[in-house]
Amino acid sequence: MSKVMGAVNRKDGRAKVTGNATYAAEHQIPGLLHGYLVTASIGSGQIKSIDTSQAEKAKGVVAVFTHKNPPKIFKPSNNFISSKIYEARLPLSDAQVHYGGQIIGLVVADTFEQAKHAAHLVKVEYETQSPLTEFQKATFKEAPPFMGEELKFEKGNVATVNNAAVKIEATYTTTTELNAPMEPHAIIAQWQGADALTIYEPTQWVMGSQRTYAELFGLPAERVRIITPYLGGGFGSKAMPWPHGILCAAVARHLQRPVKVVLSRRQMTVNAGHRSETEQTIGLAAAADGKLMAIAHDVKSSTSPVDTFTEPCTRVTPVMYSAPNLRYAQELAIMNVGTPTFMRAPGENPGMWALESAMDELAWSLKLDPVELRLRNQTQEHQHQNLPFSAKHFTDCLKVGAERFGWKDRSRQVRSLLRDGQLVGWGMAGATFPALQGVATVKVRLLPDSTVHVLTAGNDMGTGAYTMVAGVAAETLGVSVEKVRVEMGDSQLPDGGMAGGSMMTASLAPAVIKACQDVLKSADCNDATDAWAALRQSGRAAFEATATSAPPEGEKKWAFQSWGAHFCEVTVDEEIGRLQITRWLSVMDIGRVMNAKTAASQVRGGVIMGIGQALMEECLLDPNIGYPVVYDLATYHFPSHADIPRIDVVFVGEPDLNFNLAGARGVGEIGITGVSAVIANAVYHATGKRIRSLPLTPEKLMADFRALTADETRDAQEMKELIASNKSHERVAGHSQNV
């Protein structure tokens, strides 16, 4: 068993359960003003006139800003290195409205209520153009590289494969999804004169935000301080400044007063990111034994008129299954929608939905166990990077999962299991996410009161980073976790990298280990107990060391990737279209597990967000006015307690010491990958309905299953069998209901 600290309770648990954890909007700042955004009520066009006179006269209002009087903002380089903002267009830069709900003004007043009221008094006249919000009507062009990575590739020649035993081609779609963290995006900006700024804002990337705000206001980085000890979730949407944050900071400078802006749920629908809808066509060709001969993956996603973000679905194509002929490509369209961004497993999540659904279809066509199909086709190398995978244990994920779930006892027929009048189905699918590591610096201080203080500007948005850092320090120094105090989320601390791309553990843990080793070395002691004694004797205030970890330089020898397999059982009541998930098992290979409690929670969180994607999450836009018809938590549904079964989590594999000296590959995102495919695969097993568009809403589940499969000529014979078996089951079901 690999145990740094076994299963440890969260270090930040006490602060969070007592209400003492302070989130961005909660910092108590004297003289604070409240800002409320004015947003566009059209989907595309120009502001013809904007009348703020009534708003300005309203009680308590201090100022109103629009594109007529925008506060000063510098254009940042926006290159990810020196600065990065989510939306390249700066707020209030002109009269153009690019999408419904775009920010067109900010009202600042003494109280929240006054600002909100006055925001509704701003009168706007528009010149309206008809917005493009329908994916089907968009114009798609070749997508640019994603963070330097080409999104197209071909090896062999897919088109020439003509001796396959089975070929399938199908198109899978996902809808627009919202990150929807429970803590709405919020910021307090406070200037100390004209050239020093303090920002309280939830940010997954403390130092990136510091550099970016510095560029936006023409300051050296050290004149900006970011304070973000707690984030109420982010899931990719809180890594960089959004327009509301930039505007708030600019207005606070203009007024020389601290200003707070909190997005309403309605404003979060378009102004804080989303996952683009996707349309993916997968073609698979296989020999009779299931060996893949060709894989083709073509993807479409959309972006906003004011920034480019491609949902990189094809990143999964070269890593999952080996085929001599393999091709992928991505296209992107510009639509009048808010700017999409990173959302938990960007690319891998929708990519695995399509690929793992197609693999299931192939398994049924070949009459092959889908676990076996995956075992036969897994690849030992990254087919685009031409590098072998380090410490890959996908086989264990599949085998341990199948064993624990009882997979061999499954029925091999669709519509063949009934329980309490409901159809029952089992499904499985793979999971994957790349292992990333950033540069991170950590300072460790041994203090004379026999405690350890670890400081870094990384942060913990619910991932368990506080606890992980404390655990690694405790283990390296040979002390109990209780002795370690961790301070994070402040740009005055050493750069701790980004809480994103599942890389915080892989970045921070090696730096913590090194800093702890260095501090013992500098004290000339083997463990902390000796060092503390030496420290007290020396009369010094502390022994301290700072260390940095970074990905190894030089020629790349390995591809680093995490793996997993999900298994689930669903029940479907076709009469009312109700789908329930009744059993779930996830087996993950993530290298070393740092804390069996928080790592399990990360996987569960990912799985459950995936269940939301599969069952209900859908942000719809009115095609005529281009405005979201989903605008709060009553219209954007994500899972509640009642939707969720117990999620069993198992970790297999070995510490990945080729990756870093902690052996950890990260766990934040892999849990969500493959989830919607497992569920759709189980629904197919239960009902015979192959649903290729998410979410799996009641009307799709209620549809006559013959309609959903009738277009597939390839299994016409199977269809006849299905129809026959369906009839007999309808009788059985009817009978059990009458009892």
Partner 1 sequence: MEVTQSTVSGAVAVTLNVNGKKRSLAIEPRVTLLDTLREHLGLTGSKKGCDHGQCGACTVLVDGQRVYSCLALAVMQEGKEIVTIEGLAKDDVLHPVQAAFIDNDGLQCGYCTPGQICATVALLDEVKQGSSSAITPNLEHPPQLAELSEAEIKERLSGNLCRCSAYNGIVAAVQQLVGQTPPSAAADVMVKEMPA
Binder among 16, 72, 540, 714 for partner 1 (CB under 8 A): 16
Residue with tokens 């990260």: 666
Residue 654 makes CB contacts below 8 A (sequence gap 6+) with: 2, 391, 393, 591, 592, 663
Minimum distance of partner 1 from residue 423's CB (angstroms)? 20
Structure tokens at 16: 């969070």
Q: Which is nearer to ligand FES, 96 or 635 (CB)?
A: 635
232 binds partner 1 (CB under 8 A): yes
Q: Which is nearer to partner 1, 166 or 473 (CB)?
A: 473
Binder among 15, 164, 534, 723 for partner 1 (CB under 8 A): 15
| Closest C-alpha to 629, from 305, 128, 270 | 270
Q: Which is nearer to ligand FES, 363 or 600 (CB)?
A: 600
22 binds partner 1 (CB under 8 A): yes
The one segment of 163-171, 205-213, 652-660, 714-722 that binds partner 1 by CB under 8 A: 652-660
Residue 278 makes CB contacts below 8 A (sequence gap 6+) with: 173, 174, 299, 300, 301, 311, 313, 350, 354
478 binds partner 1 (CB under 8 A): no
Choose the one of partner 1, ligand FES, none that binds residue 45, judging by a C-beta under 5 to 8 angstroms depending on kind.
none
Evaluate whether 118 touches 53 at the Cβ level (below 8 Å): no
Identify the bridge partners of residue 189 per DSSP, sorted by sequence position.
199, 259
Binder among 1, 182, 707, 739 for ligand FES (CB under 6 A): 182
The one segment of 259-267, 314-322, 378-386, 618-626 that binds partner 1 by CB under 8 A: 259-267
Identify the bridge partners of residue 151 per DSSP, sorted by sequence position.
none
Q: What SS3 state is found at 422?
A: strand
Q: Which is nearer to partner 1, 178 or 363 (CB)?
A: 178
The one-letter code for the residue type at 256 is Q
* In the complex, residue closest to ligand FES by CB: 182
**Which helix (H) or strand (E) is 514 found in, with range?**
helix 504-523
Interface positions, 108-167, toward partner 1 (CB under 8 A): 110-114
Residue 548 makes CB contacts below 8 A (sequence gap 6+) with: 439, 440, 441, 442, 511, 514
258 binds partner 1 (CB under 8 A): no
Choose the one of partner 1, ligand FES, none that binds residue 230, judging by a C-beta under 5 to 8 angstroms depending on kind.
partner 1
CA 506 to mean position of chain CA atoms: 17
Minimum distance of partner 1 from residue 640's CB (angstroms)? 4
Q: Please identify which of the residues 183, 356, 669, 718 carries the catalytic annotation.
A: 669
Number of shown-chain residues binding ligand FES (CB under 6 A)? 3
The one segment of 45-53, 231-239, 317-325, 540-548 that binds partner 1 by CB under 8 A: 231-239
Q: Give the C-alpha separation, 374 to 360, whole Å.
A: 10
Q: Which is nearer to partner 1, 58 or 703 (CB)?
A: 58
637 binds ligand FES (CB under 6 A): no
Q: Give the C-alpha separation, 182 to 688, whole Å.
A: 37
Q: Which is nearer to partner 1, 126 or 242 (CB)?
A: 242
Q: How many Cβ atoms sit within 10 Å of the Cβ of residue 311?
A: 30
Which ranges in 367-503 belong to alpha helices (H)? 370-377, 394-405, 465-477
263: left (phi over 0), alpha (psi -120 to 50) or beta: beta
Minimum distance of partner 1 from residue 264's CB (angstroms)? 7
Q: Give the C-alpha separation, 50 to 254, whole Å.
A: 21
661: left (phi over 0), alpha (psi -120 to 50) or beta: alpha
Choose the one of partner 1, ligand FES, none that binds residue 734, judging by a C-beta under 5 to 8 angstroms depending on kind.
none
Which value, in Å, is the radius of gyration of the alpha carbons in the chain? 27
| Closest C-alpha to 622, from 613, 634, 631 | 631
Choose the one of ligand FES, partner 1, none that binds residue 81, judging by a C-beta under 5 to 8 angstroms depending on kind.
none
Q: How far from each other are the two terminal CA atoms of the chain, in whole angstroms?
A: 51
| Binding-residue pattern over the window 603 to 642 for partner 1, x denoting contact by CB under 8 A | xxx-xxx----------------------xxx---xxxxx
Minimum distance of partner 1 from residue 129's CB (angstroms)? 31
Residue with tokens 């209780």: 482
Number of shown-chain residues binding partner 1 (CB under 8 A)? 84
Interface positions, 30-89, toward ligand FES (CB under 6 A): none
Q: Which is nearer to partner 1, 265 or 376 (CB)?
A: 265
Q: Which is nearer to ligand FES, 43 or 464 (CB)?
A: 464
Minimum distance of ligand FES from residue 595's CB (angstroms)? 16
**Which helix (H) or strand (E) is 251 found in, with range?**
helix 243-255
Q: Give the C-alpha separation, 2 to 16, whole Å.
A: 28
Evaluate whether 180 touches 638 at the Cβ level (below 8 Å): yes
Interface positions, 393-452, toward partner 1 (CB under 8 A): 400
Interface positions, 406-465, toward ligand FES (CB under 6 A): 462
**Which helix (H) or strand (E) is 62 found in, with range?**
strand 61-66
Q: Which is nearer to ligand FES, 182 or 739 (CB)?
A: 182
Interface positions, 58-97, toward partner 1 (CB under 8 A): 59-60
> Is 669 annotated as catalytic?
yes
| Binding-residue pattern over the window 462 to 501 for ligand FES, x denoting contact by CB under 6 A | x---------------------------------------
Q: Which is nearer to ligand FES, 204 or 336 (CB)?
A: 204
Q: How many Cβ atoms sit within 10 Å of the Cβ of residue 259?
A: 28
Minimum distance of ligand FES from residue 377's CB (angstroms)? 37
Q: Which is nearer to ligand FES, 60 or 233 (CB)?
A: 233
Q: CA-CA distances (angstroms) from residue 706 to 67, 503, 575?
A: 56, 45, 15
Q: Give the C-alpha separation, 630 to 635, whole Å.
A: 5
Minimum distance of partner 1 from residue 586's CB (angstroms)? 9
Q: Give the C-alpha separation, 135 to 154, whole Å.
A: 26
Q: What SS3 state is found at 356?
A: helix
Q: 715 — phi, psi (to 5°)?
A: -125, 50
Minimum distance of ligand FES from residue 34's CB (angstroms)? 17
Binder among 63, 515, 600, 677 for partner 1 (CB under 8 A): 600
Minimum distance of partner 1 from residue 408's CB (angstroms)? 20
C-alpha atoms less than 13 angstroms from C-alpha of 366 in its C-beta half-sphere = 27
Binder among 366, 649, 677, 682 for partner 1 (CB under 8 A): 649
Interface positions, 202-261, toward ligand FES (CB under 6 A): 233
Choose the one of partner 1, ligand FES, none that binds residue 504, judging by a C-beta under 5 to 8 angstroms depending on kind.
none
Minimum distance of ligand FES from residue 10's CB (angstroms)? 10
Among all residues, which ones are annotated catalytic? 669
- Report the interface residues with ligand FES, using CB under 6 A: 182, 233, 462
